[in-house]
Structure 1
Amino acid sequence: MKIEQIYTNCMAHAAYYLESNGEAAIFDPLREVDDYIAKAVNNHATIKYVFETHFHADFVSGHLDLAKKTGAIIVYGPTAKPQFEALIAEDGQEFWVGNCRVKAIHTPGHTLESTTYLLIDELGKEHGIISGDTLFIGDVGRPDLAQHVVADLTEDKLAKMLYHSLRTKIMPLSDDLIVYPNHGAGSACGKNMSKETTDTLGNQKRTNYALRANMTEEEFVSELLNGLTQPPGYFPKNVLLNIKGYESLESVLTKGKKPIEVKDIKDLIQDGSVIVLDTRSAAVFADGFIPNSINIGIDGNFAMWVGEMIENINQKFVLVTELGREEECMIRLSRVGYDGTIGYLAGGFEAWINEGFPVQTIKRIEASEITSHYSNWPIVDVRKKSEFDAEHVQGAINIPLNQLYKRIHEFPTTNFVLHCAGGYRSMIAASLLYQRGIQYFVEVNGGFSAIKETSLLPITDYVCPLTML
């Protein structure tokens, strides 16, 4: 039996490739499925099943395209009601993949249909569990997502379900099993995930707060719900796409891979029907950009921040990218269901410059300049509240990036300094502020990290965020 984790860092997402004796199965695939197919072809294997641990909220799964291209059977756990052809497993049902078996274990709690898959090798030995969002390394799945799409559910009810799933279905399993979760640190599907992406179940029983021995249901629910932040707004939309189905990725790319000339983009901007999404780095964007464009850099948590900051999942986009990265940007947008790309700026931003059209810039400063030139300006920190609470510049104002729209009135009405942790999120904020006419600020190159290293600003004492959960 061969089991391989396929990890995508920008999404903090893990898919899995299982193979035995010429047959393969894919667990929780991303939407771009050709790499999975190529892996099976190279190994002379046929993809037999696509196993889904649950209806995902943070990404659009590749189950439909993968099944269509390979003839594989899509498998969900008990209670799942997809609006397309799929096999709904019974609790305890086993599936043969070559000479190994996959056993479905219904583990509701993160969602109602959440299912853990137990891997049993060719010799009949239990090898590991593909746990989806039921069990992470250091954490468990948050129970406040399914309630957005299923009536009469509360996070409290789901948390209680998860408590019993863990204690009656997961914890009795052997300590030497390998835990293969769907996400790692950086995902919004949990609050305390480790940077490690696999572990033994025995070690998780010893170290994971949610698997603590003698933990009561009441204690579990309290600790699980404490510290949960508002889930990203695009999560319920992704769940519905995963339940109902979606357009093929090939069709999305065909519509989006169209170069648009500068003059035509200018007309689209004036029409107001599209967003110009500039995916270049923060530093390059600051030096010059198309007025009213939004900067979300491709070399970061791009898809997550698009979903977080652009409410309309059907929004039409024109992309400004580094030359040659147009398709990459479209694929990463599609991972969270944003399929509205209608084209990209032909010739890149240089073409806009060459036509002599208006350009805006954002003033970036070095952290060392704050005390010498901007010491009297208020400081706005757009990091998460947990980051800010752990350590920040004394007197700074915390307006987390994902709260920018509803707290726009809290920004200073006079000159201010803007920063995040390293400069990625603060440039997103800067572009959105410019759209709304707030342009009287400077943004810190290197963010809080640089401020700590090179400025003389007073910093609060560090408090480990884990102590605040």
Structure 2
Amino acid sequence: MKVEQIYTGCLSQGAYYIECDGEAAVIDPLREVDQYIQLAGERKASIKYIFETHFHADFVSGHVDLSRKTGAPIVYGPTEMETGFDALIAHDHQVFNLGRAKIKAIHTPGHTLESTCYLLIDESGKEKALFTGDILFIGDVGRPDLAQHVIAELTAVKLAGMLYDSLRNKIMPLSDDLVIYPAHGAGSACGKNLGKEKSDTLGNQKKTNYALRGNLSKEEFVKEILAGLTPPPAYFPKNVLMNIKGYENVDEVLQRGTKALNVHQFQRLIHENHVLVVDTRDPSIFKKGFIPGSWNIGLDGSFAVWVGTLIKDIKQKIVIVSDTGREKESVTRLARVGYDNAVGYLEGGFEAWQNGGFEINCIPSISVADFAVLHKTRGVKILDVRKKSEFDSEHIIGAINTPLNYIEDGAKVIDKTETYYIYCAGGYRSMIFASVMKSNGYENLIDIEGGVTAIKESKRFELSEFVCPTTML
């Protein structure tokens, strides 16, 4: 028997390939499904089942395309939701044979109504692993407030109560040596504080996971699980609907999005249509020169999450500017979160635009050393675009917190006639912020190179110039 976790860092997402006696199952596949087909082919196995732990919100699953290409049925746990494709709706504790191994569906509502874990039983009948989806993470549990954005009567309080019961009655009674394989790790917005580990034993989670404390009452659990939840990214409900109703063939999406546009075609397209230019290059390169109106969302960061958070219309037409050779990757990662309307990329990249003599923009930046002088000698306006929790932990005195994920609110406090110095943790989010704001007419934003990390490492600021509420009490 073989179990392989296929982890995708930009989504903090784990898909799983399970195989026994030439039969394979895939749990929660990503949209680019050829990787699973290739893996099965290399091992001379056939994909027999596609198991979905729930209707995902943070990415578009590959279940529809994988079923179309392999003929394997798509399996969900108990649900009354009508899907736009054929699906096998399992009942609680239904067992599926995979060679001499077995996979048991365990209905565990709470994150969503249909949330289901899959228990892997090996050839000898021993329970080996539990694939928990978004019900149980390492160090955390799934947030219960997402389904209400699709079904209004499913309040967070109702689902939190269901989650408590599912954990206590369905998961915690299982063997302590069972390996827990969750659908997400640290960085996912599907929980509040996920651990960095990608698997653990159930026994260790009972000792270390706050939500599995033995003396925790349901009322206490509901209060703790709902405390501090921030609104989910706007694209979550749209991804849920795509996962329920189906979506366009990903091969067609990639073919359309990877159409090469010469610089004149590209110029006509962005000027004649409501097309957004997404520049996926590294922020340190982008800031030196870019096409006016471009948004910089670098591939080497949480690309999909920020695309889904900031581009409000999931049907927005998009053209790509990227490093040579990363065009397909850019379109693929857009499609992972349902942005299927990429209509091409600039052939030759930004250099082609620059060599064509077209107008370019840049984002001015300042070194930590020069910023330190300004900060000490005269008052400057400072924007901290990190999350509120990061800001509350530590920030430069006098900075205004304008989190990137609430950029519309940030725009309300910025005076277009004033100059602002902006920072985040390391420069990725501040460049996204600056590029989006510049495309909307905010010209006087200067990026502090390296953000908080560089500021602290430079030792040009005394620690007293940072506020850390937890140490000041």
TM range (shorter): over 0.9
Q: What residue is the counterpart of 2:304 in the other structure?
A: 303
Equivalent residue number for residue 461 of structure 2:
456
Deviations 1:418-467 (A, max 9, x none): 01110000000000111121111210111111111113161123749xx9
1:273-322 superposed Cα distances (whole Å, 9 cap, x missing partner)? 10011110101110000001111001111011000000000000110010
Aligned counterparts of 2:450 and 2:319: Cα–Cα separation in 1: 28
CA contact (8 A) 1:391 1:463 kept: no
Q: For residues 56-98 of structure 1, what are the alpha-carbon distances to aligned partners after superposition, in whole Å with 9 as ceiling and x for unaligned?
A: 0000000011111111111000015222101000000000011
Aligned counterpart for 1:400 among listed residues 382, 386, 403: 403
Matches within 5 A, 1:228-377: 228-375=229-376, 376-377=379-380
Give the length in aligned residue pairs: 465
**Residues 22 and 217 from structure 1, CA distance in 2 versus in 1: closer, same or farther, beyond 3 angstroms?**
same
The residue that corresponds to 2:384 in the other structure is 381
* Structure 1 residues without counterparts, runs of 5 or longer: none
Residues 402 and 409 in structure 2, CA contact (< 8 A), matched pair in contact too: no
How many angstroms apart in 1 are the aligned matches of 2:293 and 2:273?
Answer: 10
Q: Following TM superposition, by how much is the alpha carbon of 1:323 offset from its aligned partner in structure 2, in angstroms?
A: 0.6
- Alignment-mate amino acid for residue 290 of structure 2: F
Match of 2:414 among 411, 415, 421: 411
Match of residue 226 from structure 1: 227
Instruction: Provide the residue aligned with 1:142 in structure 2.
Output: 143
Q: Which of structure 1's runs of 4+ aligned residues deviate more than 4 A?
A: none
Q: Which amino acid aligns with 1:321?
A: S
How far apart are residue 198 of structure 1 and its match? 0.3
Q: Does 1:162 align with 2:163?
A: yes
Instruction: Report the residue type matching 1:398 in the other structure.
Output: N
CA deviation string 1:206-237 (max 9, x = no partner):
11011001211100000000010110000000
Q: In the alignment, is the contact (CA less than 8 A) between 1:452 and 1:459 conserved in 2?
A: no
Q: CA deviation at 1:415?
A: 1.2
**Cα drift, residue 176 of structure 1:** 0.5
How far apart are the structure 2 equivalents of 1:187 and 1:151? Answer: 23
Evaluate the alpha carbon distance shift between residue 55 and residue 357 of structure 1 in structure 2; reply closer, same or farther with a 3 A threshold.
same
User: 2:73 corresponds to which residue?
Assistant: 73
- Answer whether contact 2:31 2:250 (CA < 8 A) is retained: yes
The Cα shift of 1:406 comes to 3.0
Letter aligned with residue 40 of structure 1? A
- More moved, 434-443 vs 319-328: 434-443
Deviation at 1:205, TM superposition (A): 0.5
Return the alpha-carbon distance in structure 2 between the equivalents of residues 49 and 67 of structure 1.
Answer: 9
Name the amino acid aligned to 2:135. T
In 2, Cα distance between the equivalents of 1:368 and 1:226?
Answer: 40
- List per-residue Cα deviations over 1:112-135 (Å, max 9, x = no partner): 000010110000000010000000
Tell me how far apart the structure 2 counterparts of residues 177 and 21 of structure 1 sit (CA, whole Å).
Answer: 22
Distance change in 2, residues 1:462/1:40 (3 Å): farther
Q: Aligned to 2:391, what secondary structure does the other structure show?
A: helix
Matched position secondary structure for 2:255: helix
Partner of 2:32: 32
For the residues of structure 2 that align with 1:442 and 1:171, how far apart are their CA atoms?
A: 52
CA drift at 1:374: 4.9
Deviating more after overlay: 147-156 vs 290-299: 147-156
Q: TM-score, normalised by structure 2?
A: 0.96
Aligned: 1:424 with 2:431: no
* Paired residues of 2:57 and 2:240 also in contact (CA < 8 A): yes
Whether contact under 8 Å (1:255, 1:342) holds in the other structure is yes
Higher alpha-carbon deviation: 257-266 or 346-355: 257-266
% same residue: 59
Contact persistence 1:368–1:456 (CA under 8 A): no
1:407 deviates by 3.0
Q: Distance in 1 between matches of 2:161 and 2:370?
A: 52
1:382-416 deviation digits (Å, cap 9, x = unpaired): 00111111111112110100111133111245111
Aligned mates of 2:18, 2:267 — CA distance in 1: 49
Deviates more, 1:66-75 or 1:253-262: 253-262
State the secondary structure of the residue aligned to 1:336: coil
Counterpart in the other structure of 2:438? 434
- Whole-angstrom CA distance in 2 between matches of 1:30 and 1:37: 12
Counterpart of 2:52? 52
In the alignment, residue 76 of structure 2 is paired with which amino acid?
Answer: Y
Q: CA shift at 1:269, angstroms?
A: 2.3
Structure 2 counterpart SS, 1:180: strand
Q: Distance in 1 between matches of 2:174 and 2:433?
A: 46
